[in-house]
Structure 1
Amino acid sequence: MSVQIIKLEISGMTCEHCAQTISKKVSQLEGLISKKVNYPEKKGEFEFDTDKISKSEIIDAINSIGNYKVVGETESNKNKNAHYDLIIIGGGSASFAAAIKASELEKKVLMINDGLPIGGTCVNVGCVPSKTLIRTAEQYHIANHPNFSSIKPCENKIDFKEVIRQKTELVGELRQHKYVDVLKDDLNVTILKSFGKLIDKNTVEADGKKYSAEKILIATGSTTFIPDIPGLSEVDYLTNETLYDLEELPEHLIVIGGRYIALENAQMFARLGSKVTILQRSFRILPDEMPDLTETLKEYLEGERIEIKTGAKIKSVENKNGKIIVNASIKDNNEIIEGTHIFVATGRKGNTKGFGLEEVGVELHKQDFIRTNEYMQTSIPNIYSAGDVTGEYLFVYSAAYEGALAVENMFSEAQKGKEYSVFPWVIFTDPQVAGVGMDENQAYENKIEYEISTIQLKDVPRSIAARNTKGFIKLIRNKDNDKLIGARILASEGSELLMEISLAIKYGITVKELKQMFHPYLTLSEGVKLAAISFDKDVKKLSCCAV
């Protein structure tokens, strides 16, 4: 949406009713955002969306009413800085949460967005497209590899182009319903499709115009960090911004990286029918997690014929005879990997270039991320930042939290610091990886006397009945007070167990109390209770529903 404000001199008005008549007439025009008609001054100010209506159409509408006539234009935002309470650069989750919160506070907001469409990474090239494709691949995989031997798989085939078409359709629908429609009738919020650049700490230039505000929020998100590999820039490599628009299924997809984006997409394409090779620099996938989890997940992925090469140092990449050729050292042994496509998932970097941030003194850190304090302020006190561009928690739900928190702190004397002591997260492989709180290493580093309890899903009735016993549930408790301090889960739909554990950690529910809670029989959540019981008893020696 591109916004313009015009101020018109209007002749023929003789009373306040005349001003009301003109206001009523122009209100019927699609694209009009706001209007102010002043009878004593014989003037009208009109804010409108130039994508839907032109200045001349507004003038024609006024001239069509009785004796009223526009006799001149006194001011235009072409010649005067438009002033707002808050200017947001970015159009994703953090931006929308911030705009909604600011509107609730009756603040005038300008959101400037370019690059990815409204909705940012999550709805366009992240969460939404990846998760619907992962579910598609899962259904296809189950149809051809049922858990029950009584079900005979048939030769199911998949229409990849139709899969991508349905994905694109879903992305469009959610972008419209969950983003565009949310703010389209909000008179406090104006959305401008343009690239915004800071001129000074209170001024942003966009679309050839200057806009000023008391507060500014930078929520420009992140993009793939591309490593400096000889030849990589010369091949048509894929990132999450291009992977989901492929029109044909890759014959052999080479994945550079071994963390959550790499693993989710590797398994998804393997299940859809691609040969997949993962090249991971460290000696374990998900190297920040404990070996019991990573090695078990690696075993499951390799069981689906995904080739995983860890300890990989990529020397060069080239395109030869229509193939992608990767020259790599795998644990000090030279190998040549040949594929048809290459997907880069080697971490993220902040979208901070070209916005004038460094010129006005906004401090950066790590991979071009914006440094913020606990109140979401940058090194410039009136400029705040939220979401992926801060480089702290790169999740859509944390971005929304930070966007709203930043606005609360901007316009309130009572400052509230960000609170991430209990933060649940999920990796949508199958089985899913889910975690909250500390792991064993973190508990040790924090000098906590901890104890772990791990129950394998082969001992959980729900998993046994579903004939899907891959994975485990691991709880970590503080031995001094019997309170949970963390959990790691590897299970189909393991993500659905997280919130019970998260609430237990946040509100200090003890393991004893958790064991005493009723958990319906033949639910996966019963596995949490069994894991709690396992701190003190061997559940293999208990009957069903025993405590």
Structure 2
Amino acid sequence: MNQFDNIDIIDGTARFVNDHQVEIINQETIEGNYIFINTGSTPIVPHIKGINETKHIYNSATMMKEEKLPQHLAIIGGGYIGLEFASMYARYGSKVTVFEYNERLVMREDEDVALEIQHILENQGVQFKFSSRVQEVSNQNEKVIIQYSQNDVGYIDHFDAVLLAAGRIANTDELGLENTGVKVNQRGQVIVNDYLQTTVPHIYAMGDVKGGLQFTYISLDDYRIVKDHLFGKQERTVNNRGYIPYSVFISPTFSRVGLSEQEALQQGYEIKVAKIPTASIPRANVDGKPEGVLKAIIDKNTDQILGCVLLCERSEEMINFVELAMNQNLTYQDVANHIFTHPSMSEALNDLFNAV
């Protein structure tokens, strides 16, 4: 146990004894007036025959500990985590094959954006098996044998390693929540109110364990909500923190905030769409990174920015400016006429929003 003033850090596995007590397994039982659950999430292990017995099967955490580069890597799942590892290992020099159950990538994104991501990764050497289902894995010497179907036709292929990227699940199974009044939903995520209180008011849940967006900075902002609820004016909630951007670290980075085009139409907005290729940005060409596309969705009646997609180098920085503009209720014209430094990637926002 390490001690820093009034903070004790205890290494161990904890389980609830009741609403006020937590047992540190094989150590001690501690009690608190307030308890905070922030146990995160863990990668899902899909129901595939042989998955638990086969060697050289990894998840996103164990894969990063490997020191040997697989010559041929299979990735089961074409979501954001799968795409990040696909881009990463393709650039390392591995041959990468991605098995995706759907007929295209990232179904929550607009099809034109998803196709642009696909083409970029294919140019990096990534191969995609769409409409595929992995049915069984096994070993043959040091190889992993994958049996899968694609469009109802069966295939067998050999790989050096397999990465499971089928999503993540909240870490609640071993918490002993059955000993408390804390409730979880059908996905095992802790149920919370707008202030992140569980169904036991003095127990709070933050981060991945409560579901929703699974990003480190969400957990950080959850802390701000809890702090304000306990010691502030109780003004911050999960519903008033505004638009939240996210980035997927493929190469180039994919970033988005707000609604996609398809989401805006589904919600009944009349929209205007602006779109420019990354190749039109001077700085992208100076850096030799012309791949990608920039896209903005505008409310036709109010000129408010409904959403923005940036598939380009440094988009993880640029998207924060767009998010701030949206949360400050700026119009697209305000961004179109903003003065940016030159040559920079951010000045592309002038061209994007002038293209409306």
One-letter code aligned to 1:481 = T
Which is worse superposed, 219-228 or 199-208?
199-208
- CA–CA distance in structure 2, aligned partners of residues 213 and 518 of structure 1: 52
Is it true that 1:337 corresponds to 2:154 in the alignment?
Answer: no
Percent of aligned positions with the same letter in both sequences?
A: 28
Which is worse superposed, 218-227 or 490-499?
490-499
Change in CA separation of 1:464 and 1:209 when aligned onto 2, cut-off 3 Å: closer
- CA–CA distance in structure 1, aligned partners of residues 305 and 236 of structure 2: 26
Change in CA separation of 1:515 and 1:463 when aligned onto 2, cut-off 3 Å: same
Question: 1:533 maps to which residue?
Answer: 354
Question: 1:472 maps to which residue?
Answer: 293
Counterparts of residues 147-546 of structure 1 (less than 5 Å): 185=4, 187-206=5-24, 207-236=26-55, 237-411=57-231, 414=234, 416-418=236-238, 419-535=240-356
One-letter code aligned to 2:172 = T
One-letter code aligned to 1:368 = G
Conserved? CA contact 1:215–1:410, under 8 Å: no
2:136 match: secondary structure: strand
Change in CA separation of 1:361 and 1:188 when aligned onto 2, cut-off 3 Å: same
- CA–CA distance in structure 1, aligned partners of residues 116 and 98 of structure 2: 16
Conserved? CA contact 1:348–1:367, under 8 Å: no
CA shift digits 1:359-417 (9 cap, x unpaired): 31321124322121111011112111001111111100111111232243245573531
Change in CA separation of 1:466 and 1:317 when aligned onto 2, cut-off 3 Å: same
Counterparts of residues 108-127 of structure 1 (less than 5 Å): none
Pair member with larger Rg: 1
One-letter code aligned to 2:164 = V
- CA–CA distance in structure 2, aligned partners of residues 509 and 258 of structure 1: 35
- CA–CA distance in structure 2, aligned partners of residues 520 and 432 of structure 1: 21
Instruction: Provide the TM-score with structure 2 as the length reference.
Output: 0.95
Change in CA separation of 1:467 and 1:242 when aligned onto 2, cut-off 3 Å: closer
One-letter code aligned to 1:430 = S
Gaps of 5+ in 1: 2-48, 50-183, 536-547
**Between Structure 1 and Structure 2, how many residues are aligned?**
353
Change in CA separation of 1:464 and 1:218 when aligned onto 2, cut-off 3 Å: same
Report the structure, 1 or 2, having the larger helix content.
Answer: 1
- CA–CA distance in structure 2, aligned partners of residues 463 and 411 of structure 1: 46
Gaps of 5+ in 2: none
- CA–CA distance in structure 1, aligned partners of residues 215 and 263 of structure 2: 21
Conserved? CA contact 1:218–1:385, under 8 Å: yes
Conserved? CA contact 2:54–2:139, under 8 Å: yes
Conserved? CA contact 2:116–2:293, under 8 Å: no
One-letter code aligned to 2:74 = I
Instruction: Provide the TM-score with structure 1 as the length reference.
Output: 0.62
Shift of 1:218: 0.6
- CA–CA distance in structure 1, aligned partners of residues 186 and 310 of structure 2: 30
- CA–CA distance in structure 2, aligned partners of residues 366 and 347 of structure 1: 16
- CA–CA distance in structure 1, aligned partners of residues 275 and 199 of structure 2: 45
- CA–CA distance in structure 1, aligned partners of residues 214 and 253 of structure 2: 18
- CA–CA distance in structure 1, aligned partners of residues 67 and 86 of structure 2: 17
What is the Cα-based RMSD across aligned positions, in Å? 1.6
